[in-house]
Structure 1
């Protein structure tokens, strides 16, 4: 039974459950991102010495075991060499980059669910390697590399699975839960560290690392009880299973799946698109084929993932401690929780905005908003030292929070939504992997180079990010198509329509429909026509809709044969 209706079409509880459960991959991403981020030395400033590193790396027992110590019994005499600390940090980022790329063929070969379960297992092996080490920092670093493989693969697979299984009417909201759980994972990691820092001995750092077992177990086991992606099933000719998968997401009884108009139409759209795609190759090189704007879409999403990092969001987590110190907040845990809480809470607003207002304009407005507050932040910090001027410090804190407010509601969830819904089914896994790898690459580059850049130009670094935000907004305006309220197959048709331009894409609808609104309303007729009196009328509408689908895919204008 349907849980509720959107635009006259049913939405089942399973659609909500699969999105929330799959988003546990974002929770894992969030914890690992926090661990990677906070392990990197923060930008140095005249008043802030060498900066803040991970709470784990500062734990006394961890230092005594893995650092170079003048006195083996006194952690205050211990320190990490730049090479050792750099390898411990960098290997996770390298692992995520590789994992994102090799996760694509795994998702295509095993299916989205089994691939996620497999990579959850890889992540847990990495955790096990880390917590079983006693005095070998190399083993700990290798464990982070293995965990990174799992995180990278999940970061590509989860948004793709969510987009492929979610009903189009709420796809933005459900896919945005991935970003919500990333922020939740970051916040929980902060809280766990507060509790663990009071544990004596190796229990302090082993607890923080070892608790990472919980989340992949929930995802790896729970996802097996969720429906498989109907598009992956359709691509393999498993039409009955695809219909049941759609019916579960829609809250339609299994006994009605074969005859229900909504299921009938959606499977028809998938088959028409996949039949067309089957004439083309699906290898890595196809991702860079100019035909059907494959190259265009690959480069666009890789660029948007790059600019998500270049927004400067991580910059505030790096540099936040300095300005918070200026107003008397010296505990790094408190600083992390304040910024993490703002990020998490505001993401709820992002879920609403990306569904209500589409993708393009929130990203454009968000880019301008973020640029403005970065400019204020950088100008204030350049004019006066915030550690010596409380008023400037307070202004910079407000600027940082308002930046995160805008980022969490636009660029943070929006880019992950686009990764799941921009590509055609046949090459979606590979293109999503390339885009996600771009995110991880720039995450690593920023983490590595930020300390050197800020040492040279200090708060003026904010001006660089302000310019990047404006550039990102311009790229969205001129190159990104509006994909809200369309099925994934219709998004593919829109990108391939030579008459459609990004700035006019909001009004795009398949041939024969004057507007996207009327096109969406034509779909709702299928649910309204379930009574015997409406069967005939619905049948005529559905045939008309199928003809438009087939024409858009270059096929004969006749309804597809359903198995």
Structure 2
């Protein structure tokens, strides 16, 4: 039974549950990201793993930039490799079983970390192994969500991955502030060890969710694909075979698969210029690169150290404030990406983020924040406003696009290459940030400000608007030579006036009603102040 309706079409509770459960992969990612900045400041961790003049006196201990960079950044090397392994794993085992295996790999890495006594190398290797699991999940989860979610709410459901990343970061901060009072190694071992709980929830829970209908269809299992779509739509098994909505989606998949079966789908196909495959692969990798170059992880990885340097007495508390802003604003991001599409939120977000990073860097460069309290406060406010913009635009938007930009036959591989780009730049920033900050201080923010502006320009000239379209229609749009990125918001398949007309006719077909009857219903809803076109003119509503 449908939980609710969007644009008159049913949405089942399973669609919500599978998105939330799969997003535990994002929570694992976020928790692992958030914990390390606070662990680096815990007394026992510093005494065990830093370079100390007197092993009993913490004031004589300090991490070298190389050691600190490797402890933080080796996770990203693991995730880079894991992201590339995620494609063949997800294609061979299916999206669900792949996630279960990847959760097991992550748990092995956690065990290696918590069994460390005095070897920082072992701890770093544990983060490397955990990274293999995190990287594979970061490729599999958005792909599974995009392939399974109903198109009407695909943006919102895929954005839950980013929401759970921010939630994981916030939870890591909160657990760290409590665990720091535990004597001895219990402080950091507790924070790391609790990380075993999250993959258990995902690895077992995902097995009770339906498999991706597109993966099932690609393997010729159309009956199971119908049942998977029916579950997501809240349609009973008895109705599934004859329901027009399911029939329409299955036929779209069948047509796409029939075409794709004639084309080789190896790794080289990702770099084929035909059908804009090379374009989409490179653009996906570029988007993920610029998501890192926004500078967000500068605050998440080294935030505690940054705020300590601007004179904040308890940087753990400031980290929680920053994490809370990130988490809460991601709810706004889910609304923004569904309401306003993909292009303009990323463009405006890039400009907003650039402005506040410029303020952050200028303030820290103009005066010493450790001696001027007002400058320190301005820097924290500007960091929070930067995170506000990031959480509402680039953070969820890029993961949504990675899930919906590529065709079925190469989606797993292209998603893996794009995600690998994210982790490569994640590693470069995590490792080299201590060196760069030591050399240029807060002027580092000017570099990130320039990168945000560049990202906004690239989005304007190269990103196609994919909101409201099925994944098969997105593929058609990219292959239409008459469609340009800046005109893509109005694009619709041949035979339709514009996108609204396409959506309206699709709604009529899925509801099993004649188009004119559906249009009359739209007109009645509009007159009553209801529906998606309430208050719109007949032309705006796509009516003749």
Structure 2 distance, partners of 1:31, 1:322, is 18
Q: Summarize the alignment of residues 384-395 of structure 1 with structure 2, pairs less than 5 Å apart.
A: 384-395=367-378
1:497-552 C-alpha deviation (Å, 9 max, x unpaired): 1110000000000100001111111121134337xxx79999xxxxxxxxxxxxxx
Q: Which residue of 1 aligns with 2:450?
A: 467
Query: Relative to 1, partners in 2 of residues 1:280 and 1:257: Cα closer, same or farther, differing over 3 Å?
Result: same
Structure 2 distance, partners of 1:391, 1:297, is 46
Q: Summarize the alignment of residues 293-332 of structure 1 with structure 2, pairs less than 5 Å apart.
A: 293-317=276-300, 329-332=312-315
1:63-120 C-alpha deviation (Å, 9 max, x unpaired): 4544555555555555555554444333211111100001110000000000000000
Structure 1 distance, partners of 2:305, 2:203, is 40
Q: 1:334 aligns with which of 305, 308, 317?
A: 317
Q: Which residue of 2 aligns with 1:98?
A: 81
Q: Secondary structure at the match of 1:493?
A: helix
Q: 1:430 aligns with which of 403, 408, 413?
A: 413
Query: Relative to 1, partners in 2 of residues 1:508 and 1:90: Cα closer, same or farther, differing over 3 Å?
Result: same
Q: Summarize the alignment of residues 162-241 of structure 1 with structure 2, pairs less than 5 Å apart.
A: 162-241=145-224
Q: Summarize the alignment of residues 371-390 of structure 1 with structure 2, pairs less than 5 Å apart.
A: 371-390=354-373
Q: Secondary structure at the match of 1:513?
A: coil
Structure 2 distance, partners of 1:426, 1:56, is 42
How far 1:458 sits from its partner (Å)?
2.4
Q: Which residue of 2 aligns with 1:48?
A: none
Q: Summarize the alignment of residues 148-547 of structure 1 with structure 2, pairs less than 5 Å apart.
A: 148-317=131-300, 329-529=312-512
Contact 1:323–1:386 (CA<8 Å) still a contact in 2? no
Contact 1:326–1:388 (CA<8 Å) still a contact in 2? no
TM-score for both structures, normalised by structure 1: 0.88
Contact 1:529–1:535 (CA<8 Å) still a contact in 2? no
Structure 1 distance, partners of 2:323, 2:457, is 28
Q: Which residue of 1 aligns with 2:130?
A: 147
Structure 1 distance, partners of 2:32, 2:310, is 30
Contact 1:323–1:393 (CA<8 Å) still a contact in 2? no
Q: Secondary structure at the match of 2:201?
A: helix
Structure 2 distance, partners of 1:380, 1:67, is 31
Q: Secondary structure at the match of 2:2?
A: coil
Query: Relative to 1, partners in 2 of residues 1:402 and 1:68: Cα closer, same or farther, differing over 3 Å?
Result: closer
Contact 2:34–2:301 (CA<8 Å) still a contact in 1? no
Q: Which residue of 1 aligns with 2:11?
A: 11
Structure 1 distance, partners of 2:173, 2:264, is 46
1:297-319 C-alpha deviation (Å, 9 max, x unpaired): 00001001111111122234467
Contact 1:243–1:257 (CA<8 Å) still a contact in 2? yes
Q: 1:123 aligns with which of 92, 106, 113?
A: 106
1:440-467 C-alpha deviation (Å, 9 max, x unpaired): 1111111222222233332222222111
Contact 2:69–2:432 (CA<8 Å) still a contact in 1? no
Are 1:29 and 2:29 matched, yes or no? yes
Q: Which residue of 1 aligns with 2:94?
A: 111
Structure 2 distance, partners of 1:517, 1:199, is 58
Q: Which residue of 1 aligns with 2:522?
A: none
Contact 1:482–1:502 (CA<8 Å) still a contact in 2? yes
Q: Which moved more, 1:413-422 or 1:68-77?
A: 68-77
How far 1:121 sits from its partner (Å)?
0.6
Q: Which residue of 1 aligns with 2:528?
A: none
Gaps in structure 1 of 5+ consecutive residues: 39-54, 539-563
Contact 2:113–2:127 (CA<8 Å) still a contact in 1? yes
Query: Relative to 1, partners in 2 of residues 1:90 and 1:366: Cα closer, same or farther, differing over 3 Å?
Result: closer
Q: Which moved more, 1:291-300 or 1:90-99?
A: 90-99
How far 1:348 sits from its partner (Å)?
0.3
Contact 2:354–2:448 (CA<8 Å) still a contact in 1? yes
Q: Secondary structure at the match of 1:388?
A: coil
Structure 2 distance, partners of 1:333, 1:325, is 9
TM-score for both structures, normalised by structure 2: 0.91
Gaps in structure 2 of 5+ consecutive residues: 519-544
Structure 2 distance, partners of 1:157, 1:112, is 6
CA RMSD between the two structures: 2.2
Structure 1 distance, partners of 2:60, 2:373, is 34
Contact 2:327–2:391 (CA<8 Å) still a contact in 1? yes
Structure 2 distance, partners of 1:328, 1:383, is 16
Structure 1 distance, partners of 2:456, 2:64, is 40
Structure 1 distance, partners of 2:370, 2:67, is 31
How far 1:326 sits from its partner (Å)?
8.6
Structure 1 distance, partners of 2:212, 2:112, is 32
Structure 1 distance, partners of 2:444, 2:68, is 24
Contact 1:231–1:425 (CA<8 Å) still a contact in 2? yes
Q: Summarize the alignment of residues 47-62 of structure 1 with structure 2, pairs less than 5 Å apart.
A: 55-62=38-45
Contact 1:7–1:521 (CA<8 Å) still a contact in 2? no
